[in-house]
Amino acid sequence: MNRVYNFSAGPSMLPLPVLEKAASELVCYGNSGMSVMEMSHRSPDYEAIIADGEAMFRRLMNIPDNYKVLFLQGGASTQFAAVPMNLIKRTGKADYIVSGQFSGKAYKEAQKLGYDVKCIASSKDDNFDHVPVIKREDIREDAAYLHICFNNTIYGTKFPYIPDTGDIPLVADMSSCILSEPIDVSKFGVIYAGAQKNMAPAGVTVVIVREDLLDYSEEKMPTMLEWKTQAENGSMYNTPPCYSIYMAKLVYEWLLSIGGLEEMKKRNEKKAKLLYDYLDSQNYYIAPVKKESRSMMNVTFVTGDADLDKKFASEASAAGLKNLKGHRSVGGMRASIYNAMPYEGVEKLVAFMKEFAENNPKA
- Sort 80 into a burial class: Cβ within 10 Å, 0-12 / 13-18 / 19+: buried
| Residue 298, beta-bridge partner list | 336
> What pLDDT, in 10s, does the model give residues 10-46?
999 999 999 999 999 999 999 999 999 999 999 999 9
Asked if residue 72 lies in contact with residue 204, where contact means CB atoms within 8 angstroms, the answer is: yes
Measured distance between the N- and C-terminal CA atoms of the chain, rounded to whole angstroms: 40
Asked if residue 222 has a cis previous peptide bond (ω within 30° of 0), the answer is no
Per-residue confidence band for 237, with pLDDT thresholds at 50, 70 and 90: very high
Q: What is the mean pLDDT of residues 237-243?
A: 97
pTM for this entry: 0.97
State yes or no: pLDDT of 143 exceeds 90: yes
Distance CA 39, CA 118 (A): 45
* Per-position b or e across 283-305, b if 16+ CB within 10 A of its CB: ebbebbbeeebbbbbbbbbbbee
For 236-294, the three-class secondary structure string (H helix, E strand, C coil) is CCCCCCHHHHHHHHHHHHHHHHHCHHHHHHHHHHHHHHHHHHHHHCCCCCECCCCHHHE
Phi, psi of 333 (to 5 degrees): -125, 155
> What pLDDT, in 10s, does the model give residues 126-138?
999 999 999 999 9
Distance CA 56, CA 83 (A): 25
Q: What is the mean pLDDT of residues 352-362?
A: 96
Residue 202 has, within 13 A of its CA and on its CB side, a CA count of 8
Interacting residues of 148 by C-beta distance below 8 A, sequence separation 6+:
96, 97, 99, 103, 159, 163, 170, 171, 172, 173
SS3 298: strand
Per-residue confidence band for 314, with pLDDT thresholds at 50, 70 and 90: very high
SS3 138: helix
> What pLDDT, in 10s, does the model give residues 80-127?
999 999 999 999 999 999 999 999 999 999 999 999 999 999 999 999
Distance CA 151, CA 35 (A): 35
State yes or no: pLDDT of 242 exceeds 70: yes
> What pLDDT, in 10s, does the model give residues 259-272?
999 999 999 999 99
- Per DSSP (E only), the strands in the chain are 5-6, 67-72, 93-98, 116-122, 146-149, 151-152, 157-158, 170-173, 190-194, 205-210, 298-301, 321-322, 333-336
Q: What is the mean pLDDT of residues 324-337?
A: 91
State yes or no: pLDDT of 296 exceeds 80: yes
Across the chain, mean pLDDT equals 97
Q: What structural domains does the chain harbor?
A: 17-257 (3.40.640.10), 260-359 (3.90.1150.10)
Asked if residue 288 lies in contact with residue 127, where contact means CB atoms within 8 angstroms, the answer is: yes
Amino acid type, 134: I
Per-residue confidence band for 1, with pLDDT thresholds at 50, 70 and 90: low
